[in-house]
Amino acid sequence: MTAMSRFVDIAEILDGGHDGERVAIRGWMYNKRSSGGIQFLMVRDGTGVMQCTLNRSSFDEETYNNVEKLPLESVVELEGVVKVDERAPNGRELSVNNVGGVIESQPDYPIIRKRHGVEFLLDNRHLYVRDPKLQSIFRLRAKFMEAARDWFREHGYTETQSPMFITAACEGGSTLFEVKYFDREGVYLSQSWQLYAEAMICSLGKIYTIAPSFRAEPSRTRRHLSEFWHLEVEEPWTDLDGIMKVGDELVTHIGHTLAREMPRELRMVGRDPEELLRLETPFPRITYDEAVEILQKDGVEMLWGDDFGWQQEGPLTRHFDLPFWVVGFPTGIKPFYHKPDPRRPEVTLSADLMAPEGYGEIIGGGQRIHDYDQLLERIHEDNLDPKDYSWYLDLRRWGTVPHSGFGLGIERVLMWMCKLDHIRDTIPFPRDLRRVFP
Ligand code: 4AD
Ligand code: MG
């Protein structure tokens, strides 16, 4: 063993930055095979995965045999020359002729490269997070957050936070998680920052947050988590139309950024980047009434006044290749804070953005009631206790302005943009009805 050259990131190599050069990499041995005097090691370093080949003729017998015996997930330092090779999984391979430090792992790594059941992989999530497909998704997730923050910064929004311990429901009592909070009863985990955001717009103007939200979702579905990451926006002097334009631009910017900056990761997880580059503002808008008609024509069970469930959103969104808004949901199926349409009070100035291809709701939002009496009336109608919302009502007494906002489910958008059939892999450690371990 001779001294190693400087270590480089695998991503740099795969991007073509070191073709023909002598470099060293270090990482985890994710997979391996050998045939006729050549070993093929798949090495993962956190930035990418690359094939490394070792020729028996380039090594002394002992080194070659020791490497051959290494169990999966052993950590290796390898030095060699970068070769462009069509046959290698990512078009490039490292032709190795020097092996540096090795940390041998135990021989019984539980995730072998055959198909495992979903529950087994979730039990071993602390190890399965190393899977190259998950690695690509988590990388896309990080880029997603970065792109969103860039968009908000460029458009003059301030990031702010709301408490996670709260005392009154924003999205209805049925999905509240109650928590033990010293000796106080009636303390819950936040479902949405919204009510606090409505206070903060009088301090900061246009604001956003990226934070966890919690929902005690009673059912296991492919698109619900009990803890999800919520990107929320709230702004004064903005109506329903204005806040939908924010959604159009933000989602388009995020989709384009992923497609331009991470095409390799997108392809790896199964999404053609070209499809995200086709996102274009403004997204089409249909009314709730039109959505009901489309569904009824398709023979899907749906009456005017019903809320959408998976059975409705699935078929509805398969009519579209790009996201679209459904506008004007009935007052009866939206929380108390939604402003009734002055021209037609049985519907609200609300809008949900639907992802196409069967994915369904990714954004929910709209214009808020800014009039004190109207808000109090809706609180009574929904059988809520005005005492629980006393501070929220106060906001309508001093300096109230028309305002709007929305919440975007980050995992929902990622699930669609990565073309996944389940939400669980969009987050490293998913939480649902049955799982809080590991
Ligand atoms: O439609 P929701 O319930 O709206 C609100 O919470 C508003 N207060 C937001 C606002 O106006 N500031 O939730 C917003 C979005 C949904 O469209 C969905 O994308 C996501 O949050 N979401 C979930 N994602 C994963 N798992 C769950 N259980 C989710 N519940 C909502
Ligand atoms: Mg909703």
The per-residue pLDDT for range 168-185, each reduced to its tens digit, is: 999 999 999 999 999 999
The pLDDT of 382-411, averaged and rounded, is: 98
* pTM of the entire predicted model: 0.95
Distance CA 193, CA 212 (A): 9
Closest residue by CA, ligand 1 atom 20: 409
How is domain 10-103 classified at the CATH fold level? OB fold (Dihydrolipoamide Acetyltransferase, E2P) (2.40.50)
Please report the pLDDT score of residue 182 as a whole number.
98
pLDDT tens sequence across 20-51: 999 999 999 999 999 889 999 999 999 999 99
Domain boundaries, the chain: 10-103, 125-426
The pLDDT of 424-437, averaged and rounded, is: 96
Percent of the chain with pLDDT over 90: 93
Please report the pLDDT score of residue 185 as a whole number.
95
- Binned at pLDDT 50, 70 and 90, residue 312 comes out as very high
Total Cβ atoms within 10 A of residue 122? 18
Please report the pLDDT score of residue 23 as a whole number.
97
**How would you write the chain as a 3-class SS string?**
CCCCCCECCHHHHHCCCCCCCEEEEEEEEEEEEEECCEEEEEEECCCCEEEEEEEHHHCCHHHHHHHHHCCCCCEEEEEEEEEECCCCCCCEEEEEEEEEEEECCCCCCCCCCCCCCHHHHHHCHHHHCCCHHHHHHHHHHHHHHHHHHHHHHHCCCEECCCCCEECCCCCCHHHCCECCECCECCCEECCCCHHHHHHHHHHHCCEEEEEEEECCCCCCCCCCCCEEEEEEEEEECCCHHHHHHHHHHHHHHHHHHHHHHCHHHHHHHCCCHHHHHCCCCCCCEEEHHHHHHHHHHCCCCCCCCCCCCHHHHHHHHCCCCCCEEEECCEHHHCCCCECEECCEEEEECEEEEEECCCCEEEEEEEEECCCHHHHHHHHHHCCCCHHHHHHHHHCCCCCCCCEEEEEEEHHHHHHHHCCCCCHHHHCCCCCECCECCC
Q: 339: CA distance to ligand 2 center in Å?
A: 15
For residue 153, CA distances in Å to 149, 203, 208, 244, 253 come to 6, 18, 10, 18, 13
The bound ligand whose nearest atom lies closest to the alpha carbon of 410 is: 1
Closest residue by CA, ligand 1 atom 4: 364
Ligand 1 atom with minimal separation from the 175 CA: 28
Has residue 188 got a pLDDT over 60? yes
Please report the pLDDT score of residue 2 as a whole number.
64
- Write down the mean pLDDT value for the chain: 96
Has residue 17 got a pLDDT over 60? yes
The neighbouring-strand residues paired with 28 are 44, 75
Distance CA 229, CA 71 (A): 37
pLDDT tens sequence across 199-227: 999 999 999 999 999 999 888 899 999 99
Has residue 384 got a pLDDT over 80? yes
Q: 363: CA distance to ligand 2 center in Å?
A: 7
Which protein residues touch ligand 1 with a CB less than 6 Å away?
170-171, 191-192, 194, 215, 217, 224-225, 228, 230, 232, 361-365, 405-409, 411-412
Has residue 3 got a pLDDT over 80? no
Closest residue by CA, ligand 1 atom 27: 224
The pLDDT of 358-386, averaged and rounded, is: 97
Please report the pLDDT score of residue 1 as a whole number.
55
Distance CA 396, CA 234 (A): 16
- Which of 86-90, 330-334, 373-377 comes out lowest in average pLDDT? 86-90
Angle (CA) 170-204-237 rounded to 5° is 75
- Which of 106-120, 272-286, 362-376 comes out lowest in average pLDDT? 106-120
Closest residue by CA, ligand 1 atom 2: 364
- Binned at pLDDT 50, 70 and 90, residue 344 comes out as very high
Q: 350: CA distance to ligand 1 center in Å?
A: 13
pLDDT tens sequence across 107-146: 999 998 778 999 999 999 999 999 989 999 999 999 999 9
Domain 125-426 has CATH 3.30.930.10: yes
The pLDDT of 269-282, averaged and rounded, is: 98
Has residue 80 got a pLDDT over 90? yes
The bound ligand whose nearest atom lies closest to the alpha carbon of 407 is: 1
Has residue 167 got a pLDDT over 90? yes
For residue 398, CA distances in Å to 204, 295, 377, 395 come to 15, 44, 18, 6
Please report the pLDDT score of residue 36 as a whole number.
87
Say if residues 262 and 143 touch (Cβ distance below 8 Å).
yes
